[in-house]
């Protein structure tokens, strides 16, 4: 086994589960191990306390006139349950079928350490880096990065940079280098419809008072037109059209055809906004999704109640130039306007995040493409992502820097699930990618 893999295995053995307070000591030990690795590379390293898990910042000596590049990653991991579904110990990495199997192998220790080891290799081979580098590694990504935005504000002077590089997203297919240049935003809410003051006997009262579950069904159905478009007034007002080059390029990206979406989801059929492919629908068009629906009796068999209330959890994925606050106001207005008679509506706003879009043909974008081309020996594809990574917009808003999303995760990486894995070749490509990226960004 290579020295690099040995180091990764050490990193993966820490059960740095950030959400579980029983693992607080493991998260800290992992951060301290990381500090030690970075110090061995002669970087200036600081472990910063937060109210929960520490942030690790490492820099080479910054020299005026050079580009300043921040590389962001996270050393915390998701919980491992259900443990019985793992084929091997999640915190004792093994290699088989050309992959590393462990919690965090892909998300994010493997991808993040590839950058660290790329820097280590460049320093070893060349003696110095071509750019001013800042590593920013947090231990709270899996719990929503609650302290990272305040940390950026407090350390603004220390963390200013020209561009941010992040390897925490996906590759469309094995061996296909992938540059992400957009993310969807999000806004969430919960709606409660209340009818009778308690669950009623559906025989004694059914037919005379509004059933909150029936009312909820009508209300939720009103969110979409029959053809799949979102039917909220003004919902599409500020949606930026897809560029022609995007639609053309995306047609030829492997692994994201309509047939691929159908196979990966195991769904009974594709369905969505008319006139768009599955990749267009998920990367560049907004949605209204029901995440949860609950009312009345849900156990086995039947219980003939007329429920006192019904609840729905909704989330809306947003694209440029939609504003989460403006969309949420339109959603609330729609729901209140369409609320059926006989029930009372409570609207509870949830979290939100802005959509993100940068230009992959900007100088930094072109540098990233060239680095991907060099390290994978293949032509990179340019994609947006359907998910939301609020921290990317936060880097933009606080540091004024765009992010390059250089994802190395495959679709079968099982992140957040049992048997998480990361191909050894992706780990090695990540090391090369870091070296090429810093070289390209320096130009």
Q: Find tokens 């004694």 and name the residue.
A: 204
Q: Which two three-digit tokens encode residue 423?
A: 């191909």
Please identify, using beta-carbon distances, which residue of 214 and 369 lies nearer to a second copy: 214
The Cα angle at residue 158 between residues 155 and 160, in degrees rounded to 5: 100
User: According to DSSP H, which parts of 77-227 are helical?
Assistant: 109-126, 148-154, 156-159, 202-205, 212-221
329: cis peptide before it, omega within 30°?
Answer: no
Measured N-to-C along each axis, helices 109-126 and 424-442 cross at an angle, to the nearest 10 degrees, of 50
Please identify, using beta-carbon distances, which residue of 210 and 398 lies nearer to a second copy: 210
Sign of the torsion formed by the C-alpha atoms of 112, 77, 35 and 44: positive
Site string for a second copy, 147-176 (x = CB under 8 A): ------------------------------
* Given 6, 21, 42, 291, the residue binding a second copy (CB under 8 A): 291
* Given 45, 136, 220, 371, the residue binding a second copy (CB under 8 A): 220
Q: Verify binding: residue 207, a second copy, rule CB under 8 A.
A: yes
Please identify, using beta-carbon distances, which residue of 25 and 387 lies nearer to a second copy: 387
Query: Is the distance from CB of 176 to CB of 407 less than 8 angstroms?
Result: no
In the complex, what is the shortest distance from the CB of residue 255 to a second copy, in angstroms, rounded to a whole number?
Answer: 13
Query: Is the distance from CB of 413 to CB of 106 less than 8 angstroms?
Result: yes
* Given 100, 105, 163, 223, the residue binding a second copy (CB under 8 A): 223
> Rounded to an integer, what distance in angstroms lies between the CA atom of residue 168 and that of residue 352?
20
Please identify, using beta-carbon distances, which residue of 43 and 223 lies nearer to a second copy: 223
Q: Verify binding: residue 405, a second copy, rule CB under 8 A.
A: no
* Given 307, 355, 360, 380, the residue binding a second copy (CB under 8 A): 307
Selected range binding a second copy among 50-58, 73-81, 83-91, 305-313, rule: CB under 8 A: 305-313
Q: Verify binding: residue 89, a second copy, rule CB under 8 A.
A: no
The Cα angle at residue 127 between residues 123 and 131, in degrees rounded to 5: 70
* Given 92, 248, 344, 397, the residue binding a second copy (CB under 8 A): 344
Question: 3-class SS at 390?
Answer: helix
Annotate 22-75 with DSSP letters as a single string: GGHHHHHHHHHHHHHHHHHTT-EEEEE--SSS-EEEEE----TTS-EEEEEEE-
* Given 139, 195, 407, 430, the residue binding a second copy (CB under 8 A): 195
In the complex, what is the shortest distance from the CB of residue 13 to a second copy, in angstroms, rounded to a whole number?
Answer: 28
Q: Verify binding: residue 351, a second copy, rule CB under 8 A.
A: yes
Q: Verify binding: residue 266, a second copy, rule CB under 8 A.
A: yes
In the complex, what is the shortest distance from the CB of residue 127 to a second copy, in angstroms, rounded to a whole number?
Answer: 42
Q: Verify binding: residue 278, a second copy, rule CB under 8 A.
A: yes
Query: Is the distance from CB of 104 to CB of 409 less than 8 angstroms?
Result: no
In the complex, what is the shortest distance from the CB of residue 241 to a second copy, in angstroms, rounded to a whole number?
Answer: 16
108: cis peptide before it, omega within 30°?
Answer: yes
Judged by phi (left if over 0) then psi (alpha if -120 to 50, else beta), residue 400 lies in left
Please identify, using beta-carbon distances, which residue of 200 and 438 lies nearer to a second copy: 200
In the complex, what is the shortest distance from the CB of residue 85 to a second copy, in angstroms, rounded to a whole number?
Answer: 13
Length of the chain in terms of residues written: 443
Q: Distances from the Cα of 440 to the Cαs of 68, 200, 206, 378, 437, in angstroms?
A: 12, 68, 70, 16, 5
* Given 149, 210, 231, 398, the residue binding a second copy (CB under 8 A): 210
Selected range binding a second copy among 67-75, 90-98, 266-274, 432-440, rule: CB under 8 A: 266-274
Q: Verify binding: residue 213, a second copy, rule CB under 8 A.
A: yes
Q: Verify binding: residue 259, a second copy, rule CB under 8 A.
A: no
In the complex, what is the shortest distance from the CB of residue 348 to a second copy, in angstroms, rounded to a whole number?
Answer: 10
* Given 186, 335, 372, 437, the residue binding a second copy (CB under 8 A): 186
* Given 136, 172, 305, 413, the residue binding a second copy (CB under 8 A): 305
In the complex, what is the shortest distance from the CB of residue 162 to a second copy, in angstroms, rounded to a whole number?
Answer: 28
Selected range binding a second copy among 105-113, 203-211, 358-366, 435-443, rule: CB under 8 A: 203-211
Q: Which two three-digit tokens encode residue 177?
A: 């280098």
Q: Verify binding: residue 127, a second copy, rule CB under 8 A.
A: no
Q: Verify binding: residue 311, a second copy, rule CB under 8 A.
A: yes
**Buried (b) or exposed (e) across 280-303, using 16+ Cβ within 10 A?**
bbbbbbbbbeeeeeebbeeeeeee
In the complex, what is the shortest distance from the CB of residue 294 to a second copy, in angstroms, rounded to a whole number?
Answer: 4
CA-wise closest residue to 286 among 363, 347, 234: 234
Q: Verify binding: residue 247, a second copy, rule CB under 8 A.
A: no
Q: Verify binding: residue 373, a second copy, rule CB under 8 A.
A: no
> Rounded to an integer, what distance in angstroms lies between the CA atom of residue 410 and that of residue 175?
10
């Amino acid at each position: 086994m290579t020295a690099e893999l040995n180091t990764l295995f050490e990193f993966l053995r820490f059960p740095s589960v950030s959400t579980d307070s029983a693992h607080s000591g493991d998260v800290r030990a992992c951060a301290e191990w990381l500090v030690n690795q970075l110090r061995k590379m002669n970087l200036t390293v600081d472990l910063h306390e937060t109210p929960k898990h520490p942030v690790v910042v490492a820099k080479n000596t910054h020299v005026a006139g050079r580009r300043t590049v921040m590389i962001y990653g996270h050393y915390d991991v998701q919980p491992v349950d259900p443990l019985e579904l793992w084929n091997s110990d999640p915190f004792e990495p093994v290699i088989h079928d050309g992959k590393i199997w462990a919690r965090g192998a892909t998300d994010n220790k493997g991808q993040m350490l590839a950058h660290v080891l790329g820097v280590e290799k460049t320093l070893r081979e060349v003696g110095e880096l071509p750019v001013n580098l800042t590593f920013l590694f947090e231990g709270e990504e899996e719990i929503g990065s609650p302290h990272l935005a305040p940390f950026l504000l407090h350390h603004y002077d220390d963390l200013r940079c020209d561009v941010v590089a992040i390897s925490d997203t996906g590759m469309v297919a094995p061996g296909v280098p992938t540059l992400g240049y957009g993310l969807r935003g999000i806004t969430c809410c919960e709606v409660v419809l209340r009818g009778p003051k308690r669950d009623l006997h559906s025989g004694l009262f059914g037919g005379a008072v509004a059933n909150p579950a029936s009312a909820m069904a009508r209300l939720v159905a009103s969110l979409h037109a029959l053809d799949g478009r979102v039917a909220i007034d003004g919902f599409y007002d500020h949606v930026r059209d897809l560029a022609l080059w995007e639609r053309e390029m995306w047609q030829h990206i492997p692994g994201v055809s309509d047939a691929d979406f159908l196979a990966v989801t195991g769904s009974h059929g594709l369905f969505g906004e008319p006139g768009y492919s599955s990749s267009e629908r998920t990367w560049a068009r907004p949605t209204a999704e029901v995440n949860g629906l609950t009312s009345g009796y849900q156990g086995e068999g039947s219980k003939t109640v007329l429920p006192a209330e019904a609840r729905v959890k909704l989330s809306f994925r947003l694209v440029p130039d939609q504003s989460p606050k403006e969309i949420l106001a339109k959603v609330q207005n729609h729901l209140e306007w369409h609320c059926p008679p006989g029930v009372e509506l409570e609207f509870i706003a949830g979290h939100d995040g802005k959509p993100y879009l940068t230009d992959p043909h900007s100088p930094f974008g072109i540098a990233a493409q060239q680095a991907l081309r060099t390290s994978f020996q293949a032509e990179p594809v340019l994609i947006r992502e359907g998910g939301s990574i609020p921290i990317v917009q936060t880097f933009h808003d606080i540091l004024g820097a765009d992010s390059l999303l250089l994802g190395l995760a495959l679709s079968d990486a099982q992140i957040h699930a049992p048997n998480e894995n990361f191909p050894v070749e992706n780990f090695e490509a990540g090391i090369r990618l870091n070296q090429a990226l810093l070289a390209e960004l320096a130009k």
